[in-house]
Amino acid sequence: MVVARVYKTARRGLYINASLRRLSQKEAQAKLMYWRKLNRSLHLARIIAEELGLELTEVIENILSPLAEYYETPFDALEDALIRGKKVLEECGLPEEYVDRVYEIARDNILIRKMKMKFVVEIGTLAPDGIIRIKNAIMEAAKQFKDLAIKYESAPRYLVWVEGFERSTIKKRFSDFVSRLEEILLSMPDSEKYKTYVRAAE
């Protein structure tokens, strides 16, 4: 993919001078995604203008511009607001009178897809009742992690699936689950004697 940077126009835009730069596939994909999000931002701006009875220029100046101060595109800000709540719009400095309606319009027009990531956790103990200990510990830890599913693979490995909107958040949830599971198992009688362990596998 080749992109051109326009640095001079002539004859009312009929002719341009531009510099060319070849992009790597990764850069090209990122640039394409950026332009798609800008187009979606403009599409949403038109919807907001119609819903709120504003001129498009007013929406761009008073709503999209504050969002673009904190995010790469206004669309990114609206996506984050749907994940983390209206406070995102408030933190970006969106005028208070627009927050609720803009959030509602974003909710009605943006589909946030959850992703699921798979991890492996290794759990072991030499305790005579080790199977029961592990089963009870998993059940107890899972109560605090409704976005998580776990399945036995083969000793000592367990597969763990975690759902969420962002990779960093999903990884943090898995790490927290492993820590909680370890805390429960190590609190059981003679856990050190029976060489009890919990660890995230590579």
> 23-82: per-residue pLDDT in tens?
577 777 778 888 899 999 999 999 999 999 999 999 999 999 999 999 999 999 999 999
CA–CA gap between residue 201 and residue 121 (Å, rounded): 5
pLDDT tens per residue, range 129-185: 999 999 999 999 999 998 899 999 998 999 999 998 888 889 999 999 999 999 999
Q: Domain tally for the chain?
A: 2
Q: Are residues 83 and 146 in the same domain?
A: no
What is the token pair recorded at 108?
């009605």
Q: How many residues does the chain have?
A: 202
What CATH code is carried by the domain that includes residue 155?
3.30.70.1130
pLDDT of 27? 74
Reported as a pLDDT band with limits 50, 70 and 90, residue 1 is: low
Is pLDDT of 118 > 90?
yes
Q: Are residues 193 and 130 in the same domain?
A: yes
pLDDT tens per residue, range 7-18: 556 555 556 555
Q: Which of 109, 128, 155 is the last residue of a domain?
A: 109
CA–CA gap between residue 103 and residue 83 (Å, rounded): 11
pLDDT of 157? 95
Whether 169 is in a domain gets the answer yes
Q: Are residues 153 and 175 in the same domain?
A: yes
pLDDT of 111? 87
Q: Which of 109, 131, 149 is the last residue of a domain?
A: 109
Non-local CB neighbours of 157 within 8 Å, separated by 6+ positions: 120, 121, 122, 201
Q: Which of 78, 109, 140 is the last residue of a domain?
A: 109
* Mean local confidence (pLDDT), 179-202: 94
Q: Are residues 124 and 103 in the same domain?
A: no
Cα dist from 109 to 15, 40, 92, 116, whole Å: 38, 10, 20, 23
Whether 14 is in a domain gets the answer no
Q: Are residues 96 and 136 in the same domain?
A: no
Q: Domain range holding 194?
A: 115-200
Q: What is the pTM of this model?
A: 0.59
Give bridge partners of residue 182 from the DSSP assignment.
none
Non-local CB neighbours of 122 within 8 Å, separated by 6+ positions: 156, 157, 158, 197, 198, 199, 200, 201
Is pLDDT of 191 > 60?
yes
pLDDT of 69? 93
CA–CA gap between residue 150 and residue 162 (Å, rounded): 9
Q: Are residues 119 and 180 in the same domain?
A: yes
Q: Check: CB of residue 120 under 8 Å from CB of residue 153.
A: yes
What CATH code is carried by the domain that includes residue 46?
1.10.150.190
Whether 4 is in a domain gets the answer no
Gyration radius of the chain's alpha carbons = 25
